[in-house]
C-alpha cells in the first residue's frame, strides 16, 4: 500500500493539461494502485492522477450504490477517459474535492454522460452514467484538463469561495 501526498489547490500540477497515457506498463499499474490507496485513505469517492502530482490522464472512482437500493458500488479505473456524450439536461448538486478540503458548493453539470476510456488492462470501456457517478466522472475528468470545480461556480460565488479557502489555509 502506498498512499501518496495529495496536492492542494494552488499547486501548479492541478492546473496543467495532463498527458495521455501512451503505454500500459508497470509504472501505470503502480500509479493506479497508489491512486486507489490514496483515495480510500482520504475517504474520497474519486481521485485523478494530477492530484498526486502525476500529470497523466488516469483517474479512479468508487461511488456507492444509490441509497435505499441494492445497487452495487461503482468502482472504475479509467485511462485516457473522454466524455463522449452529455445530456442537455443538467443537475445542480453539492461537490467537494480532496484538493480543496473544507469547501463544498453546488455545481451545475449535465445529468447524464457517456464516458469512453481504457481499462488498466488496455480494453476499451464505455460507461453510461447518471446521478452521482456522472457527477464524479465529470469532476475527475475536469482534473485531467486542469479544471477545478470552483471554476464552474459563478464569478461572485467563486470569489467568496477562494477567500474562504485562503483564510482556512492561513489558520
Ligand atoms: Ni477533485
| 3 state SS of 47 | strand
Q: For the chain, what is the radius of gyration of the CA atoms?
A: 16
- Centroid of ligand 1 to alpha carbon of 16 (angstroms): 14
Does the global pTM surpass 0.75? yes
CA distances from 39 to 62, 75, 97, 124 (A): 9, 12, 11, 23
Superfamily of 12-88+110-149 according to CATH: Peptide deformylase (3.90.45.10)
| 3 state SS of 126 | strand
Which of 16, 17, 23, 140 is labelled catalytic?
A: 140
- Check if 104 is active-site: no
- Centroid of ligand 1 to alpha carbon of 89 (angstroms): 22
Distance CA 74, CA 115 (A): 14
What does each of the 171 residues of the chain score in pLDDT, given as a tens digit? 699 999 999 999 999 999 999 999 999 999 999 999 999 999 999 999 999 999 999 999 999 887 777 788 899 999 999 999 999 999 999 999 999 999 999 999 999 999 999 999 999 999 999 999 999 999 999 999 999 999 999 999 999 999 999 999 886
- Centroid of ligand 1 to alpha carbon of 46 (angstroms): 7
Every domain of the chain and the residues it spans: 12-88+110-149
- Centroid of ligand 1 to alpha carbon of 99 (angstroms): 6
- Centroid of ligand 1 to alpha carbon of 51 (angstroms): 8
Amino acid at each position: 500500500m502506498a498512499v501518496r501526498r495529495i496536492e492542494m489547490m494552488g499547486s501548479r500540477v492541478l492546473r496543467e493539461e495532463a498527458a495521455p497515457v501512451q503505454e500500459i506498463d508497470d509504472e501505470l499499474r503502480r500509479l493506479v494502485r497508489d491512486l486507489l490507496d490514496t483515495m480510500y485513505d482520504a475517504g474520497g469517492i474519486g481521485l485523478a492522477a494530477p492530484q498526486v502530482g502525476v500529470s497523466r490522464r488516469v483517474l479512479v472512482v468508487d461511488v456507492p450504490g444509490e441509497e435505499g437500493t441494492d445497487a452495487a458500488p461503482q468502482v472504475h479505473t479509467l485511462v485516457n477517459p473522454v466524455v463522449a456524450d452529455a445530456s442537455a439536461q443538467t443537475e445542480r448538486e453539492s461537490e467537494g474535492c480532496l484538493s480543496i478540503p473544507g469547501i463544498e458548493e453546488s455545481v451545475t453539470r449535465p445529468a447524464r454522460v457517456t464516458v469512453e476510456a481504457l481499462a488498466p488492462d488496455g480494453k476499451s470501456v464505455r460507461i453510461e452514467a447518471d446521478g452521482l457517478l456522472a457527477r464524479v466522472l465529470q469532476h475527475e475528468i475536469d482534473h485531467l484538463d486542469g479544471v477545478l470545480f470552483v471554476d464552474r461556480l459563478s464569478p461572485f460565488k467563486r470569489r467568496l469561495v477562494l477567500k474562504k479557502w485562503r483564510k482556512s489555509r492561513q489558520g
